[in-house]
Amino acid sequence: MTESPTIRIRPVREDDLEAMLALAGSAGPGFTNLPSDRAAMTERIARSNALLAGEELGGAIILGLEIGGRMRGCGMIFPRLGVDWPFYSYRISYTTHRSSIDGRMVRFPVLTLTNDLEDCAEVGGLMIDPTLLRGGYGRMIARSRYLFMGCHRPRFGKRVLADLRGWSQKGESPFWDAVGGRFYAMSFAEADHICGTTGNQFIADLGPRAPIHVNMLSEDAQRVIGGVHDDGRKALSLLVEEGFRDEGYVDIFDAGVTMVAMIDDLRAIRDLRHAVFARADDGDSLRDHLITRGSGADFCCTLGSIEIAGGGQAATDRASAAMLGLSDGERFSYLAL
């Protein structure tokens, strides 16, 4: 990982629009949190700014990874799901039947539409410039989302989820073909575009409300339920490392797995520390902490080194102190990567 002092994570602004569109263009189909559509992206950035200002809205706070003055990645935090529209998931449950004639028993999975996860926070939209996939940047932007949550804890409820992109091949989804495509008369690519630009409420409005017996679906569709796209496997490992679990929920769009955790049990929340700034020094050459100050739209964090000074105080490297504008006696927070 580079030691450049120009690495920072901050909320995206209106003037980041072109960079965000470039990131979205590299995401491919199925990544609906980051639409490659100018109007939709403009609206998402505006909504992020409104959420940072304290408005109670649906939508996401978008944090951007800035390197050398260029936006090279992002991560998103949805403070509360179900604010504007009901939030739907499929819950995987099992039904057992027994024949009174010969005693034979059969057990099969069922998908039930549910609002169980309303009022949860959600983390998503983790995207890194493809040229930066190695070097730890994904972990940095992922953990910065939990750092933000920990520094704004009263804004969030008890649980947080992460919907992972489901399995697809060449822009097609077996689950969509078996379920969604039969109700909406549109291709996966068309549905993906609508979800990315206007949200997935149309799926909940028009889709099947009755439980879906999984064994009635095609074998290809059954295999991908609860699966993860190849591009999301690294994100899945980061979530598991952080404390997320598979609790039997999947996305209503592509049946990708939904991971769930208690916010206060997240590793990052437990490890988050607060201190009073003591001094800036040359610091350790190993910059292995996310250091942050500010709240709301002024939230900013960078990669740096920390030295515990005692008495609730800590020192940082000079570059981090300068970037964050830390002064003696000011409170700040830090998180080990």
Our answer to whether residue 229 is catalytic in this structure is yes
CA end-to-end span of the chain: 12
Please tell me the distance from the alpha carbon of residue 276 to that of residue 216, in angstroms, as a whole number: 60
Helix (H) or strand (E) holding 206: helix 201-206
Residue 184 one-letter amino acid = Y
Residue 220 one-letter amino acid = D
In this structure, which long-range contacts are made by residues 245-248, counting pairs with CB atoms below 8 Å and at least 24 apart in sequence?
248/91, 248/92, 248/93
Helix or strand or coil: residue 185?
coil
Options 97, 193, 229, 274, the catalytic residue:
229
Q: Compute the C-alpha angle 52/290/140, nearest 5°.
A: 80
Please tell me the distance from the alpha carbon of residue 326 to that of residue 84, in angstroms, as a whole number: 38
In this structure, what DSSP letter does residue 169 have? Answer: B
Catalogue the active-site residues: 229
